[in-house]
């Protein structure tokens, strides 16, 4: 099964089953695996490793590994190893429910990182050396180069630095992916760095394959298994309202001459609200757009097929089952308009700043001064992680954060006096949007920002309470620049923990 995809015939002798390959991973090893939002992750070796770890627990000789990836992966990887209690340290991102439970229970260490930081920090030697790299590919060519699959993520770094390499050659991944990727090998360590020669979002500055030292390939596992598709909920009225506010704002920016009619390259987080915004761009008549982003999801595929997007550059896909089928059917015609790059390029601050990306990301909560919490529920429980939102928000032309104004059936206000955790400080947030409205925070002082956010974004059930807090803070706080009542600033979160609602009695 799939051995014909190993064109370098001498490597066929290293083909083995997943259990034998997993046995090459030593206890306490630092293992770097491919994968980004359920695309391009190894399908067989992680599950074999999980079985081995479960057996070690039963035998009274338990062990764990340190797990590095590109971002979140899938149940076959994160889920299997978390259920086996096999992860000592996880970074840089996760979204698996069992992994999240163990992290918040204090049973697994987790380092939440800006995604663009990890590959360079591993290269700098700031983290553990990579003992084993486990990377999915679609083919091994005669010259030893590798055809990447549906995500690139940190695979270049893992293959460059992994002391031993295990490849999964997945026959499910279409060979027609060849030509889709652009792998740049021109980076260097400081002080030898040079400017990255990417001027337009669809420039190709590298090569279509990954390099790999054949001498370090310890095992090859043949698979034929699909990526993990995402299932998005139907777009509801709140999502449409958020999209409507944002589209109106972008039209206004074009009319004022602050954006071209074709906008600037867009970056979008994953989920129903971003998909609604992308759909709104087409309905509003925008055209000839570009996307320089982290993940290509359903809404961007729709825009590519409709001709609204000229190109989309990212590091991986995150499709629903329906969109994935459409992508595979149209791969031939889309291949020249999609570029998958290494994460260190797709999320590189130099490029985001140069291109002037319009950055649209979700949030859990924001406070009245525009600080944003993307990661922590009630201050101490991790949800997923910061992902690439910080890479884009701090460096983009416009940093936009979006959310519904309430959560948990209205018991939580997503606009609060003070966020319980800060991922994006007020200096990195230009626009906040909820279904209630949009607050343009550019050029405003802290108190001016607070008045805009409360008036335009807060839910009516909480607006008066926020205004009351702000008015009393302006009167009674020691400093008047960013007024706060420190005894009350996090009382909304404490009230929810104690009573199940942020509403005052």
Q: ∠ CA(350), CA(352), CA(353), 5° rounding?
A: 65
At how many degrees (to 10) do helices 237-255 and 272-283 cross? 50
pLDDT category of residue 233 using cuts at 50, 70 and 90? confident
C-alpha–C-alpha distance, residues 87 and 109, integer Å: 8
Mean of pLDDT over the chain: 96
Q: Which of 294, 324, 365, 435 is catalytic?
A: 294
Helix (H, G, I), strand (E, B) or coil at 239: helix
Cis-peptide, bond into residue 92, ω within 30° of zero: yes
CA 56 from centre of chain:
33
Instruction: Using alpha carbons, select from 505, 465, 459 the residue that is nearest to residue 488.
Output: 465
Show the DSSP H helices in 335-459 as ranges. Answer: 343-346, 349-355, 389-393, 446-457
Instruction: Give 112: exposed, middle or buried? Use CB within 10 Å, 0-12, 13-18, 19+.
Output: buried
Are the beta carbons of 156 and 183 closer than 8 angstroms? Answer: yes
C-alpha–C-alpha distance, residues 119 and 235, integer Å: 35
**Checking DSSP bridges between strand 365-367 and strand 406-407, what pairing results, if any?**
unpaired
CATH class of the 237-462 domain in this structure:
alpha beta
To the query of whether residue 253 is one of the catalytic residues in this protein, the response is: no
* Phi, psi at 190, each rounded to 5°: -60, 145
* Phi, psi at 475, each rounded to 5°: -85, -40
C-alpha–C-alpha distance, residues 373 and 15, integer Å: 46
**Which residues lie below 8 Å from residue 340, measured CB to CB, with a gap of 6+?**
148, 150, 151, 152, 180, 181, 182, 313, 314, 315, 316
> Where are the domains positioned within the chain?
3-223, 237-462
Q: ∠ CA(410), CA(416), CA(422), 5° rounding?
A: 120
Instruction: Using alpha carbons, select from 489, 361, 347, 384 the residue that is nearest to residue 431.
Output: 361
Fold match between domain 3-223 and domain 237-462: yes
Show the DSSP H helices in 45-203 as ranges. Answer: 45-58, 80-83, 97-104, 117-124, 155-161
C-alpha–C-alpha distance, residues 166 and 218, integer Å: 6
Are the beta carbons of 221 and 229 closer than 8 angstroms? Answer: no
Per-residue pLDDT tens for 234-273? 889 999 999 999 999 999 999 999 999 999 999 998 888 9
- The model carries a pTM of 0.96
Per-residue pLDDT tens for 7-25? 999 999 999 999 999 999 9
Residue 443 tokens, joined: 């050029």
Q: Does pLDDT of 88 surpass 80?
A: yes
pLDDT category of residue 1 using cuts at 50, 70 and 90? low
Per-residue pLDDT tens for 397-451? 999 999 999 999 999 999 999 999 999 999 999 999 999 999 999 999 999 999 9
C-alpha–C-alpha distance, residues 498 and 501, integer Å: 8
Write the DSSP symbol of residue 433.
E
> What's the CATH architecture for 3-223?
3-Layer(aba) Sandwich (3.40)
């Amino acid at each position: 099964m799939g051995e014909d995809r190993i064109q370098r015939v001498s490597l066929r002798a290293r083909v083995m089953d997943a259990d034998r390959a997993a046995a090459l991973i030593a206890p306490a090893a630092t293992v770097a695996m491919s994968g980004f939002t359920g695309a391009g992750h190894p399908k067989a070796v992680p599950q074999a490793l999980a079985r081995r770890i479960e057996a070690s627990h039963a035998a009274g000789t338990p062990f764990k590994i340190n797990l590095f990836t590109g971002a979140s992966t899938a149940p076959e990887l994160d889920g299997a190893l978390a259920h086996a209690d096999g992860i000592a340290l996880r970074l840089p991102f996760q979204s698996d429910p069992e992994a999240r439970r163990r992290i918040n229970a204090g049973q697994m260490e987790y380092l939440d990182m800006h995604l663009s930081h990890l590959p360079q920090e591993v290269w700098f030697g700031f983290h553990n050396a990579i003992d084993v790299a486990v990377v999915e590919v679609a083919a091994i060519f005669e010259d030893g180069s590798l055809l990447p699959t549906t995500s690139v993520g940190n695979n270049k770094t893992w293959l460059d630095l992994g002391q031993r390499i295990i490849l999964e050659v997945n026959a499910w991944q279409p060979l027609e992916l060849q030509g889709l990727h652009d792998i740049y090998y021109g980076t260097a360590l400081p002080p030898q760095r040079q400017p990255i020669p990417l001027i337009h979002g669809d420039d190709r500055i590298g090569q279509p394959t990954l390099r790999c030292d054949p001498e370090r390939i310890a095992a090859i596992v043949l698979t034929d298994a699909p990526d993990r598709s995402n299932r998005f909920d139907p777009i509801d009225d709140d999502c449409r309202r958020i999209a409507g506010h944002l589209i109106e704002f972008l039209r206004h920016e074009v009319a004022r001459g602050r954006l071209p009619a074709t906008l600037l390259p867009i970056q979008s987080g994953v989920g129903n609200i971003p998909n609604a915004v992308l759909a709104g761009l087409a309905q509003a008549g925008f055209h000839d757009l570009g996307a320089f982003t982290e993940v290509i999801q359903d809404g961007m595929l729709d825009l590519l097929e409709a001709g609204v997007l000229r190109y989309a550059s990212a590091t991986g896909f995150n499709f629903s089952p329906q969109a994935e089928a459409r992508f595979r059917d149209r791969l031939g015609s889309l291949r020249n308009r999609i570029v998958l790059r290494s994460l260190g390029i797709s999320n590189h601050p130099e490029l985001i700043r140069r291109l002037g990306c319009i950055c649209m990301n979700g949030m859990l909560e924001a406070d009245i001064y525009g600080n944003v919490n993307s990661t922590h529920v009630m201050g101490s429980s991790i949800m997923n992680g910061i992902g690439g939102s910080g890479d884009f928000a701090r460096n983009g032309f416009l940093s936009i954060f979006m959310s519904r104004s309430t959560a948990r059936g209205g018991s939580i206000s997503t606009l609060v006096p003070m966020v319980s955790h800060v991922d994006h400080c007020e200096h990195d947030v230009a626009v906040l949007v909820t279904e209630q409205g949009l607050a343009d925070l550019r050029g405003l002082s802290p108190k001016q920002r607070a008045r805009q956010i409360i008036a335009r974004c807060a839910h009516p059930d909480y607006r008066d309470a926020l205004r009351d807090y702000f008015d009393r803070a302006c009167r009674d706080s020691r400093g008047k620049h960013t007024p706060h009542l420190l005894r009350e600033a996090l009382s909304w979160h404490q009230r929810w923990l104690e009573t199940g609602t942020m509403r005052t009695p």
